[in-house]
Amino acid sequence: MFLECGVSEVGMAVVESESGANGRVHRSDVRAARRRLSGLIRKTPVFHTTITSPSGPVPVSLKLEYLQHGGSFKVRGSFNALLEAGEQVEQVVIASSGNAGIAAALASARLHKSCTVVVPESAPHTKVAAMWSHGAEVLWHGTTYADALGYATELAAERSALQLHAYDLPAVVAGAGVIGLELEEQVRGRPSVLAAVGGGGLIAGIAAAIGRRQHVIGVEPVGSPTLHAALAANQPVDIGAPTTAADSLGASRIGDIAMDLSRRHHVRSLLVTDDAIVTAREYLWREFRVVVELAGAAALGAVQSGVYVPEPDERPVVVLCGANTDLSAL
């Protein structure tokens, strides 16, 4: 939908994508993204520790992705998509309620492109402020992400701009997948990897990178089960208005790329309550002085609440994916 060769009839400037040319993303695409991103992103560290759970202490490896530029994993995909698009792209448009918009604004500024982010009225002020800090134009439209996405598509066509997608674009997914390649170098063995799911870009990228080698498990709020519902129906479905405190996980439908990769690599979905997510975030702050947003604590919530029980002698990897939060909420 977003990346074809030439200029569309309505005037939106688009370019052919090397990643996932047939709509699919493979490990080779992720490896190409890692080469492209060299020097632009942080190889975020891994912290080996033990956390509490209903069955007792559980050893885990925490991937500290909240230390990434822009405060979340999203910047990996934005940089990859813009670099893949090439220098002919001067304007970028994206719909986002938060982290994807921050990432697009940051990457655009670093690569000397203009960026417009269309946000729904519910977008958190702290995240909008971060978009502004990177020089983005921010436009409010509608009350949902779907409303913002529709307007962003129109705007990109009017301006002949490159339209990025927050999670359902091959280059964006491939960029996020570099996390999986880093984990292969940072963690011994092939433990399960748990990561939060909203629209599915993060879990899809990790699955593309390591899904044939390790178990990849998506963790979702009970009130926003996009992957869970899709796996049950064997196709993406609209779950209606999400009901979760984790605003970054408020997509109403899993992305097509995430659905494809979940099928191919047998990605599981686990559901956690908002209470479990809040408890996990408070635990990270109390025990380690780690500050993450609620979405960033979702995967840990699955382990800490007992929703995910590791195999004996397993040390699962938990991705702490973002930290763009209002500190007064802690």
CATH code of the domain in which 174 resides: 3.40.50.1100
Residue whose tokens read 């927050």: 166
Q: What is the pLDDT of residue 13?
A: 41
Position 251 confidence tier, pLDDT thresholds 50, 70, 90: confident
Q: Which of 260, 250, 273, 270 shows the shortest CA–CA distance to 143?
A: 250
The last residue of one of the domains, among 164, 195, 225, is 164
Cα distance between residue 21 and residue 64, in whole Å: 31
Position 100 confidence tier, pLDDT thresholds 50, 70, 90: very high
Question: For the residues 106-114, what does the mean pLDDT come to?
Answer: 97
Question: For the residues 266-287, what does the mean pLDDT come to?
Answer: 95
31 assigned to some structural domain: no
pTM of the predicted protein model: 0.91
Question: For the residues 77-106, what does the mean pLDDT come to?
Answer: 95
Same domain, 64 and 196: yes
Residue 253: pLDDT over 60 = yes
In DSSP notation, 91-111 reads EEEEE-SSHHHHHHHHHHHHT
Position 301 confidence tier, pLDDT thresholds 50, 70, 90: very high
Same domain, 143 and 267: no
Q: Which of 212, 210, 213 shows the shortest CA–CA distance to 180?
A: 210
10 assigned to some structural domain: no
Please, what's the b/e burial string for 158-180 (b: 16 or more CB within 10 A of its CB; e: otherwise)? ebbbbbbbbbbbbbbbbbbbbbb
Same domain, 58 and 134: no
Bridge partners of 138, per DSSP, are 117
Comparison of pLDDT for 173 and 1, the residue scoring more = 173
The last residue of one of the domains, among 124, 147, 164, is 164
CB atoms within 10 A of CB 307: 17
Q: What is the pLDDT of residue 249?
A: 67
Please, what's the b/e burial string for 27-59 (b: 16 or more CB within 10 A of its CB; e: otherwise)? bebbebbbebbeeebeebebeeeebebeeeebe
Query: If DSSP codes are grouped into helix, strand and coil, which group holds residue 317?
Result: strand
Cα distance between residue 243 and residue 298, in whole Å: 15
Position 270 confidence tier, pLDDT thresholds 50, 70, 90: very high
Each residue of 163-210: pLDDT tens digit? Answer: 999 999 999 999 999 999 999 999 999 999 999 999 999 999 999 999
Helices H / strands E in the chain, number of each: 11, 10
22 assigned to some structural domain: no
Question: For the residues 56-64, what does the mean pLDDT come to?
Answer: 97
Identity at 80, one-letter amino acid code? N
304 assigned to some structural domain: yes
Same domain, 182 and 317: yes
24 assigned to some structural domain: no
CB 302 within 8 A of CB 249: no
153: containing domain: 74-164
Residue 58: pLDDT over 80 = yes
Position 252 confidence tier, pLDDT thresholds 50, 70, 90: confident
Same domain, 126 and 193: no
Same domain, 275 and 200: yes
Residue whose tokens read 């899809």: 204
Same domain, 133 and 218: no
Domain count, the chain: 2
The last residue of one of the domains, among 164, 189, 206, is 164
Q: CA 57 → CA 39, 50, 195, distances in Å? A: 37, 6, 20
Q: What is the pLDDT of residue 293?
A: 92
Same domain, 156 and 265: no
Same domain, 69 and 79: no
Residue 20: pLDDT over 90 = no
Residue whose tokens read 């209002």: 326
Contacts of 216 (CB under 8 A, 6+ apart): 192, 193, 195, 203, 206, 207, 210, 265, 267, 268
Cα distance between residue 230 and residue 237, in whole Å: 6
Same domain, 234 and 320: yes
In DSSP notation, 267-283 reads -EEEEE-HHHHHHHHHH
307 assigned to some structural domain: yes
Same domain, 197 and 290: yes
Work out the mean pLDDT of the chain and round it to a whole number.
90
